[in-house]
Amino acid sequence: MEKVRRCSPITLALCLSVLILATNAQESIQIQSEEDNLLPSNNLAVALEEMLEYNQDKGLSLQKKASQVPRCDVGERCAIKHGPRIGKLCDCLRGTSCNSFLLRCY
């Protein structure tokens, strides 16, 4: 009986230490998995930023991207004639229009 009483505190301490180690290991696994979940989004953000920088350096001008025609001053050439068709080079400023004979803003 005395042997059982001596072993029981030791067994209890051993069980508690195993339980504490198991919970600490589980918490560290959860923290590590949360960090792993954050890493792909960080990698995606870095890749997106690099792609945007590359496109800014190489990309088309904003006017061409938005399909906007630039503005012409008075007297500037606003159109070009291709056989029977007239191609628009730019929009004339407000109050002026593109003369279809001279192909200039007046």
pTM of the model: 0.36
- Alpha carbons 105 and 48: distance in angstroms, whole number: 43
| Residue stretches of the chain with pLDDT short of 50 | 63
Confidence (pLDDT) at 105: 93
What is the domain partition of the chain in residue ranges? 2-59, 64-106
Confidence (pLDDT) at 77: 92
Q: Which fold has domain 64-106?
A: Omega-AgatoxinV (4.10.40)
Tally Cβ neighbours within 10 Å of residue 79. 20
Confidence (pLDDT) at 103: 92
Confidence (pLDDT) at 43: 79
HSE-CB for 19 with a 13 A CA cutoff:
6
